Amino acid sequence: APASVRKQLAKLFVEALNATLPTQSDAIVPLIDACVAKNGIKPADYQCNNAMSLFAKIKGKQQEFINPRSLGEGIMRNLPPSQMVQSCSVAGPGFVNIVLSKNWIAQSLQRMLTDGIDSWAPRLPIKRVMVDFSSPNIAKEMHVGHLRSTIIGDTLARMLEFCQPECLIRRNHIGDWGTQFGMLIAYLFEKFPNPEDVNESDIGDLQAFYKASKLRFDSDPAFKLNAQQSVVKLQGGDPKYRTAWKQICDVSRTEFNKVYQRLGIRLEEMPESFFNRLIPPTLEKLEKLGLIEDNEGARVIFVEGVDIPLIAVKRDGGYNYFSTDLASLWYRLNVEKLDWNIYVTDVGQWQHFDMLFKAFRRAGWLPKDPNEYPICTHIGFGLVLGDDGKRFRSRSSETVRLVDLLDEAKRRCKVALLERDNAKDWTEEEIEKTSEAIGYGAVKYADLKINRTTNYTFNFDQMLNDKGNTAVYLLYAHARICSIIRKSGKDIEELKKNGNLVLEHEDERTLGLHLLQFTEVFVESCSNLLPNVLCEYLYNLAEIFTKKFYSSCQVVGSPEETSRLLLCEATLVVMRHCFYLLGIDPVYKL
C-alpha cells in the first residue's frame, strides 16, 4: 500500500540525512511537517526540520557545516532525485522546503481513482483491537451520554477497521446485572403475580417502571427486603427469577436496537452478566498474588498513586461494576487475546479505568509501560450540555430519550426539505431517506467535530445550519459535486479509464494536494483516537473545493473538462470515505 506523502518524503530524507552525516551513530528520524499557510501564503508544501537540532549535536565535529543553515543545504544536496519533488530550497535558519511535483500529485490521484480508496489505507501496527462503546444499562434508559459513546465509539471502530487489523471487536458491555434487578423483579411479581400474564408492552416504558419500583423500594421496608431477597434468588439462578430478569432485559434491548438501527451502528453484545461466573476465579488469582486485602469488611485492591482502594467485593459480599470489569478485562486479555482494549465512556469514569488498569499492572497482567502491548486505553468524553450550559435535559423528564432526539432532528430536516423550491421533484421515499441522512448525520457530526474531551452543547439550530461546519453543509457540498458530474453528461467510469488528470491551475493543485494528504491526516486522527481531526480535514476539503477550485475553475464546458471532472470525482471519493468513517450517509441529490 502506498504510504502517506509525509512517509514517502521521510524515506527520501532518511537517505539524505545519512548521506550528509555518515558518522552519526544514532539513527536520525526525519522530522517532516506539512506547511501551513500564513496570511494565505505557504512557503512550500512540506518542510524538513532536522537541521537545527542536528547541528547542535554535531557542532565542531563536522567542520564543513558552520551553522544550521549550511547543514540544511547539505541535506538538500543529498536529497535523492525523486518524481515526487518539484523543487527544494533552504529557508531561514535551515528549514529544507519541498514543493511537490504537480504531475506526481495528479498521477497519485488518478491511481487512487483506479485502485479505490482502500489503496490509501495505512498499515498501522494494530493486530487485535476491541472498542467497548455504547454499553448502556438495562432499565435505565439510554441517555445522551450513551449517545456520545455510541457515536464516538462507532467512528473509532470504523477508523480502526480501515487499517485492516487482524481482528476488530465492537463490544457492547451492556449493564444487565446489579442490585437494581432485585427491585425490578420484586415489582414485576407484585404487579403480575402470574409470570404468564406479563406482556412486554406492559413494561414497555422501562424508565417509568424503574421509577415506580424505586418509589416502592424507598417507601416500603417490606418491599425493600423482598427486593434484596430477589437479588439473591436471581444470582442463585432461580429459574423464575431468571425468566423475569430476561423479560426485563429484552424490553431494554428492543429499545436500544431501535437507536442502533437508526444510526447504522453495529455492535456485538457481551453483557455484564456474561462475566459473572468469571468473577470468582479472577478474584482468586488476584488473591493468590496477594493483591486483595481487607478494608472495613470489603475486599479491596490498592493501586499506585490513588488514595482510595478499588473495591473488588462489597462489604455484603456482593459484586459491583469493578468486579465485573476485573473479570471482563481478564477475559479480553487471556481468552480473546486482544492487544488493544479501548473503552469509550464519559470522562467521569476516568478514575475507574485508571485504577482498573493499574491493578492489572500490579498483578503483572499488563506491562509496566502503558505504551507496550497489550495496551488499554480509556477514551473519555465531556458532558452533553443544553443551551443553558447545564447538563442536557428535556423539560418534561430528567433525561432526554434518544429516540425523541433523533425524531426531532429528522423532523426539522424534513421541514427544511419540503420548503425547498424543488420539493415537488422528490419522491416520498427520497424525502424520508434524505431527512434521515441529514438529521442523524448532523447529530453525529456535531458531536464528532469537537475535541471529544470537552463538553459539548447540544443545539439543533446550530447543527442543522446549512452554512458553517455542519453535516448539512458538507452533505450539500457533496450533492452539489454529484450534480456537476451529472450535468456534464459524461460517463465517469469511462473518463477514469481514458481521461487524464492534470493540475494546471493553482487552485486545482491546492485541491489535489489536500486530497492526497488524506492518509496522513487519517493516521493522525486514528492514532490519537481523535475523530475531530478527520472532521476538520473534511470541512477544509469542502471549503477548498467550493471557495477555491469551484469558484475559479469552470468545469462543465471548459477545455479542461475531463481533467476537472476527474478531480471532482476524486473529491467525491475522499468525501464519501470521510462520511463513511464518521458514520454519515451521503446525499446525492439536493
Footprint of ligand ARG (CB under 6 A): 132, 135-137, 173, 175, 325, 328, 343, 345
Within 8 A by CB and 6+ apart from 130, the residues are 168, 169, 170, 171, 332, 336, 338, 340, 341, 342
At closest approach, how far in Å is the CB of 376 from ligand ARG?
11
Nearer to ligand ARG, 158 or 171 (CB): 171
Which residue has its beta carbon closest to ligand ARG?
135
Residue 548, SS3?
helix
Nearer to ligand ARG, 128 or 173 (CB): 173
Query: H/E/C letters for each residue in 556-568?
Result: CCCCCHHHHHHHH
At closest approach, how far in Å is the CB of 351 from ligand ARG?
13
Nearer to ligand ARG, 21 or 283 (CB): 283
Nearer to ligand ARG, 137 or 164 (CB): 137
Query: H/E/C letters for each residue in 303-340?
Result: CCCCCCCEEEECCCCCCCHHHHHHHHHHHHHHCCCCCE
Nearer to ligand ARG, 115 or 398 (CB): 398
At closest approach, how far in Å is the CB of 132 from ligand ARG?
5
At closest approach, how far in Å is the CB of 540 from ligand ARG?
34
Cα 393 off chain centre by: 25
Nearer to ligand ARG, 173 or 548 (CB): 173
Residue 163, SS3?
coil
Determine the Cα angle at 125 with ends 119 and 127, to 5°.
100
At closest approach, how far in Å is the CB of 326 from ligand ARG?
10
For the stretch 25-43, what's the b/e string if a residue is b when 16 or more beta carbons lie within 10 angstroms of its beta carbon? Answer: eeebebbbebbeeeeeebb
At closest approach, how far in Å is the CB of 145 from ligand ARG?
7
Number of Cβ within a 10 Å radius of residue 191:
14
Q: Give the integer Cα–Cα distance in Å for 320 and 548.
A: 57
At closest approach, how far in Å is the CB of 136 from ligand ARG?
6
Q: Which of 179, 254, 258 is nearest to 214 (CA)?
A: 179
At closest approach, how far in Å is the CB of 6 from ligand ARG?
35
Nearer to ligand ARG, 45 or 255 (CB): 255
**Cis ω before 374 (30° cut-off from 0):** yes
At closest approach, how far in Å is the CB of 344 from ligand ARG?
8
Number of Cβ within a 10 Å radius of residue 564:
25
Nearer to ligand ARG, 345 or 517 (CB): 345
At closest approach, how far in Å is the CB of 281 from ligand ARG?
18
Q: Give the integer Cα–Cα distance in Å for 160 and 526.
A: 7
Nearer to ligand ARG, 343 or 518 (CB): 343
Nearer to ligand ARG, 92 or 348 (CB): 348
Residue 467, SS3?
coil
Bridge partners of residue 132, in order along the sequence: 171, 343
Q: Which of 193, 204, 146, 88 is nearest to 349 (CA)?
A: 146
Number of Cβ within a 10 Å radius of residue 448:
25
